[in-house]
C-alpha cells in the first residue's frame, strides 16, 4: 500500500480550512484508512498538516462543543496563531456519519465561518 504524503500535494500554498468529520464515517475513516491501495491520514492529522502550512501553532486547542443536529454533538478544535488571514479548525461530529444531518443554525454557523475568510 502506498502512503500519500506532503510531496504528493501539488500546491504548497496555505489555505483556511473548516474540516467537518464524523467519528462513525465508514466512507472516509476519521482515523484514516485506505482507498484503492492509497492510504490517507485521519481528520486530526489532515488539519494539523494544513495548520502547519498556514503557520498556525503546533498544538491545537479545544473550542466550543455545540449541537450539530438533534443527536450529534460537535467538538471544535482550533489551530490558533495562524498567519494573518488563515484559520484552521476541525469539527469532530461525535457519532456522526459520512453525510450527517445538519441541525438548525449549523449551516449558518459554517457559512459564517466561510464568509469571514478571504483565503
pLDDT, tens only, 70-117:
889 999 999 999 999 899 999 999 999 999 889 999 999 999 999 998
34 within 8 A of 1, measured Cβ to Cβ: yes
Greater pLDDT, 91 or 12: 91
What's the confidence (pLDDT) of residue 79? 97
For residue 8, pLDDT over 80 is answered with no
- The distance of Cα 8 from the centroid of its chain, to the nearest Å, equals 19
C-alpha radius of gyration, the chain, whole number: 15
For residue 14, what pLDDT is reported?
Answer: 85
Average pLDDT score, the chain: 90
Q: Taking the domains of the chain in order of start, what are their residue ranges?
A: 16-115
Half-sphere CA count of 56, side-chain side, radius 13 A: 25
pTM (two decimals):
0.88
pLDDT tens for residues 64-82?
Answer: 999 999 889 999 999 999 9
Grid cell of 20 as nine digits: 467537518
Check pLDDT > 60 for residue 56. yes
Amino acid at each position: 500500500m502506498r502512503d500519500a504524503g506532503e510531496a504528493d500535494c501539488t500546491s504548497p500554498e496555505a489555505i483556511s480550512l473548516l474540516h467537518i468529520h464524523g467519528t462513525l464515517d465508514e466512507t472516509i475513516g476519521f482515523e484514516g484508512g485506505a482507498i484503492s491501495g492509497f492510504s490517507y491520514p485521519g481528520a486530526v492529522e489532515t488539519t494539523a498538516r494544513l495548520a502547519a502550512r498556514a503557520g498556525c501553532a503546533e498544538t491545537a486547542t479545544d473550542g466550543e462543543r455545540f449541537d450539530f443536529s438533534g443527536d450529534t454533538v460537535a467538538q471544535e478544535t482550533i489551530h490558533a496563531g495562524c498567519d494573518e488571514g488563515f484559520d484552521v479548525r476541525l469539527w469532530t461530529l461525535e457519532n456522526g456519519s459520512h453525510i450527517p444531518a445538519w441541525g438548525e443554525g449549523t449551516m449558518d454557523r459554517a457559512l459564517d465561518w466561510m464568509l469571514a475568510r478571504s483565503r
